[in-house]
Amino acid sequence: MTPLRIFISSTQKELSEERTALRDYIQGDALLRRFFEVFLFEDMPAADQCADACYLDEVRKCDIYIGIFANEYGNEDDKGLSPTHREFNLASELEKYRLIYVKGTDDTIRSPKMKALIAEVGSELIRRRINSCEELIAAVYASLIKVLEERELIRFAPFDAASCRNATLDDLDNEKIIRFLGLARRGRGFPLPEDAEPLEVLTHLNLLDNGRPTHAAILLFGKQPQRFLITSEVKCAHFHGTEVVKPIPSYQVYKGTVFDLVDQAKDFVLSKIDLWTGTRAESTQVPTKYEIPQEVVSEAIVNAVAHRAYTSNASVQVMLFKDRLEIWNPGTLPPTLTLEKLRGPHASVPANPLLAEPMYLVKYIERMGTGIRDMITRCRKAGLPEPEIKLDSGFWITTIRRKQSRGQLKTHDNTPDGTKSALSRHQVKIMHNCIEDRTVADLMKIIKRSDRTKFRNQVINPLLDAKLLEMTIPDKPTSSKQKYRLTDKGREFLESED
C-alpha cells in the first residue's frame, strides 16, 4: 500500500527538537514506518521556490496534519497570519485528518496571537497538551494507531471476529445460512427456530461486527469468500512417487466456503486412495473400507481449514504421495499447548473460535479438543502408524502413512470365488462403466485422466491382470479399435456390492 503522508507543521525554532524527534521515531518504529512517511521543512532541499508556497503544497498532499503549537506565533504575512496558522487553515479547509498538540500549560507566556490560534483550534477539535518530546511521541503514537484501526489497516480483535474489509451483508448467501440452520438444528439442537431470519442466525453466532460481516461470516457463508480472503483456498496435489516433482499428475485448487473446501479436498483424497469392498457374508450391507479411514482424512483436513492462520499469505496444501498423505496449513500451536499435549486429553483452544463453532454445530467437527486423539485411535485400528505432527517454518504439518502405493491390488477376500483383491474407487467406477464395451478414451474421460500410459498402468492393467476386465480384441492389444468389457468374474464382483 502507499504510505500515508504526515505533515508536521511548525516553523517555530523553539520546536525544532520535538519535530525532529517525532520524525525519527515514526521512521524508526517497525510498525509506523510501514504505514506512514513524514514531511519536515528541515528536510527540504534548496530550491527556487517560495518556502511558504512549498509548505502549503505539502499540506495539500498530506493525509494527516500534525500541528505542534508552543509560545511563538511566527512571522506574519500581509494578512497578519503566520505560516503555522495558514497551514492549519488550509488543512481544515481541505478536511485533512488533524492532530493538534500544545506544548506547556502556562498560557500566560504565549504570544496573544498564539493564544488566539489555540483557542480557535480548541473550538473545532480536541487538542492534547504535552510537556516533553517523550509525551509528544507517546501521544502521537496512540493517535496514529487509532488512525490505522479506523482505516482497518491493523486490527486487535481476533481475526475471525474482525469485520471483513469492504464486505457487506449482500456478500453473504442467505440460502447457505438457511441450509446451515436446518443442519445445525438437526445435528446439535441449535436453539433458533427453522423460520429464523439469516440476520438473526448471524447475530446469534456473533458473526457481525457493528452490522458488518466478520471474516468468519464470509468464510462460512460468503458467496465468493476468496474475493476477500484470497489465500483461503485449498490446493490439492497427487504425486505417484514419494517426492514433489513436476509435472504434477493431478492438481486442483478449490475455492468456496470452509464447508466447500473440506468436502472438495476430502473427495480429492478419497477418490485416489484404495477402497476395499467386502461381501454380504456377515451382513446385508456390503462393507467398504478405505486404506486410510475417511474419518481420519476428514479430521485432518477440517483441522487445517478451521484452525489455520488466515492472516498468512500461504494456503492449505493437501498432498497425496505413494507412501503418505501430507496436509500443510499455515499456523502454529497456541501458547498453552505442546505437540505432546495434543496426544492426550487437553482443552480446546481453537485458533478461530467463531469459525470452529458453526462447523461443530453441523458436525464437521465432532468434539472439540479430541480430534488428534481420535485420529490416532482410528489409525491404530486400521493398522496404520500414528499420524505424525510437526511445526516447520510457520506451517503445521500432519503426515498420515499409507499401507502401500495406490493402484496395487491388495489382498482381501472380496470376490465371490475367493480371489483376493482390493480396488481403488476409480477402478470400481471403471468397472461399472464397462458393462458395455468401452474404448480407453471413453474410460479416461469418466475419471478425468489425461495421461494414457499412466491410466493403463495404474487402472486398466491391474483389472486385466485380476481378470475383472477383458479386451474385445485380445490378439491385438494395441489396436485402435480396442475396447474393454467386464468379465463374468467382474460382473460377479459388482453384484456382490449391490
User: Grid coordinates in use for 444?
Assistant: 479416461
Query: What pLDDT, on a 0 to 100 scale, did the predictor assign at position 412?
Result: 35
Residues 255 and 327 in one domain: yes
Residue at 118 is within a domain: yes
Domain boundary among 118, 150, 182: 150
Residue at 205 is within a domain: yes
Residues 43 and 74 in one domain: yes
Place of cell 503555522: 84
Residue at 245 is within a domain: yes
Partners of 420 in the beta sheet?
413
Amino acid 491 reads: R
The tens place of each residue's pLDDT in the chain, 498 residues long, gives 689 999 998 656 778 888 888 999 999 988 899 999 998 866 655 455 566 778 888 999 999 999 999 998 888 888 999 989 999 999 999 999 999 999 988 889 999 999 999 999 988 887 888 888 888 898 899 899 989 988 878 877 788 988 998 999 999 999 999 999 999 999 899 999 999 999 999 999 999 998 999 999 999 999 999 999 999 999 999 998 899 988 888 999 999 999 999 999 999 999 899 887 766 666 666 677 889 999 999 999 999 999 999 989 999 999 999 999 999 999 888 767 778 777 777 666 778 889 988 999 999 987 656 778 889 999 999 999 999 999 988 899 999 999 754 334 433 334 434 433 467 788 889 999 999 999 999 999 999 888 888 888 888 988 988 889 999 998 888 888 999 999 988 888 887 765
- List the domain range (segments joined by +) for residue 209: 159-227
Residues 381 and 460 in one domain: no
Quick check: 194 and 183 in contact, CB under 8 A?
Answer: no
Query: What pLDDT, on a 0 to 100 scale, did the predictor assign at position 411?
Result: 35
Residues 54 and 135 in one domain: yes
Residues 180 and 271 in one domain: no
Residue at 407 is within a domain: no
Residues 201 and 143 in one domain: no
Buried-state track 415-435, b at ≥16 Cβ within 10 A, e below 16: beeeeebbbbbbbbbbbebbe
Residue at 274 is within a domain: yes
SS3 205: coil
Partners of 413 in the beta sheet?
420
Quick check: 318 and 268 in contact, CB under 8 A?
Answer: yes
Q: How many CA atoms lie within 13 A of 422 on its CB side?
A: 20
Residues 21 and 141 in one domain: yes
CATH number at residue 122: 3.40.50.450
Residues 394 and 245 in one domain: yes
Residue at 358 is within a domain: no
Query: Residue 244: which residues within 8 A CB-CB, separation 6 or more?
Result: 237, 319
Residue at 54 is within a domain: yes
C-alpha–C-alpha distance, residues 123 and 192, integer Å: 50
C-alpha–C-alpha distance, residues 326 and 317, integer Å: 8
Place of cell 494395441: 478
CATH number at residue 480: 1.10.10.10
Quick check: 434 and 423 in contact, CB under 8 A?
Answer: no
Domain boundary among 103, 120, 150: 150
Residues 196 and 300 in one domain: no
- Phi–psi pair at 479, nearest 5 degrees: -60, 140
Buried-state track 109-129, b at ≥16 Cβ within 10 A, e below 16: ebeebbbebbeebeeeeeeee
* Residue 353 CB neighbours (<10 A): 17
Residues 104 and 169 in one domain: no
Domain boundary among 124, 150, 176: 150
Residues 196 and 235 in one domain: no
Buried-state track 208-247, b at ≥16 Cβ within 10 A, e below 16: bbeebbbbbbbbbbbeebbebbeebebbbbbbbeeeeeee
Query: What pLDDT, on a 0 to 100 scale, did the predictor assign at position 343?
Result: 76
Please list the alpha-helical segments (H only) found in 237-389. 258-270, 294-307, 339-342, 353-361, 371-381
Residue at 292 is within a domain: yes
pTM of the entire structure?
0.60
User: Grid coordinates in use for 449?
Assistant: 485422466
- Phi–psi pair at 238, nearest 5 degrees: -120, 125
* C-alpha pair distances (Å), 278 with each of 161, 412, 493: 47, 8, 10
Residues 223 and 236 in one domain: no
Domain count, the chain: 4
